[in-house]
Amino acid sequence: MDDGVVEAGIGGGVVSSEWTIPSALADFQDIERALEGKQAAVFLDYDGTLTPIVDTPAQAVLSEEMRGTVRRLGDRCVTAVVSGRGRQDVQERVRLDNLFYAGTHGFDIVGPAGSGIQHQVGQEFLPAMEELHQRLRGALGQVAGLLLETKGYSIAVHYRLVEEGAVAEVQAVVDSLLQDYPELRKTHGKKVFEIRPRFDWNKGKAVGWILQALGLDHPGVVPLYMGDDTTDEDAFEAVAGMGFGILVADEPRPTAAVYRLAGDAEVARFLQRLTETIHEPA
């Protein structure tokens, strides 16, 4: 990975481990110029992007101010929420019917009523996911602070509240049981182990599928993707060369994004400015 200066703008995507990537707010005029005469398509992670990072998934509640901003944005351009949460879960939390939703890292996609957009992949893995979920619950159900979350196409083992000394044991149990399921794989997120199908599909693939399904995979469209987690890196790479990846983080880390925002408060400010920039369809 290249730790040198990152060139911001369409076609970026060089990985940086320092804050060499500029603020999307400070350099908003550059993004505004890139959108002149073109159509925007906006993709948003949920946890840690539209909402703050919290101790448990249930605490991630979308503010009414953010909901209103995203609703107005959805009236002006294609807007999608791309989340590791189950699709129905994130839909119920966002409660906006003018958006596209890609749940469970893009394995389950649906569009607004009348859009004709609906896509699911990996259904053949669901029985193995359910069996493993039950075995994990039996093996880890008594670990203090552990939260085991099943989302159909993925299993999340949240250890944010687990005593630090017990995390290695939790991981050992997960890895041991996972050996019986070669069709599944473990990935890492923020204080969570995610188990997903060993299938060539991710948030980036979902973004590409939505753009293609809507006929938006052409130079006249500038896609923007905002996310905070390692699972969003696939999507940053997917929009490189066409638009902008925007990392939501308060500390530097390696990323394929070309801009950054410090947290959900800055995301709200950015989306408000973006909404003001994009003209409402006639």
Q: How far is CA 247 from CA 15, 85, 164, 257, 278, in A?
A: 12, 19, 27, 6, 21
- Answer yes or no: do 209 and 89 share one domain: yes
- Answer yes or no: do 72 and 99 share one domain: yes
The pair of three-digit structure tokens given for residue 103, joined into one six-digit string: 């749940």
**What pLDDT does residue 262 have?**
94
Alpha helices, DSSP H, located in the chain: 28-35, 64-76, 87-94, 126-140, 167-178, 203-213, 233-239, 264-277
Question: What are the catalytic residues?
Answer: 45
User: Which among 179, 197, 215 is the end of a domain?
Assistant: 197
* CATH number of the domain residue 54 falls in: 3.40.50.1000
**What pLDDT does residue 99 have?**
98
Query: The domain containing residue 175 runs over which residues?
Result: 124-197
**What pLDDT does residue 7 have?**
37
User: Which among 168, 197, 226 is the end of a domain?
Assistant: 197
Q: Which of 55, 82, 50 is nearest to 231 (CA)?
A: 82
- Answer yes or no: do 183 and 224 share one domain: no
**What pLDDT does residue 280 have?**
61
- Answer yes or no: do 207 and 270 share one domain: yes
- Answer yes or no: do 64 and 110 share one domain: yes
Residue 81: strand pairing partners: 44, 101
- Report residues of the chain scoring pLDDT below 50: 1-17, 282
Average pLDDT, the chain: 90
- Answer yes or no: do 55 and 101 share one domain: yes
* CATH number of the domain residue 162 falls in: 3.30.70.1020
- Answer yes or no: do 33 and 117 share one domain: yes
Q: How many domains does the chain have?
A: 2
**What pLDDT does residue 6 have?**
36
Distance CA 232, CA 82 (A): 9
Number of other CB atoms surrounding residue 132 within 10 Å:
19
Reduce the DSSP state of residue 129 to 3 states and report it.
helix
Listed as own residue / partner, the contacts of 141-146 with beta carbons closer than 8 Å and 24 or more positions apart are 143/169, 143/170, 146/170
Residue 224: strand pairing partners: 42, 244
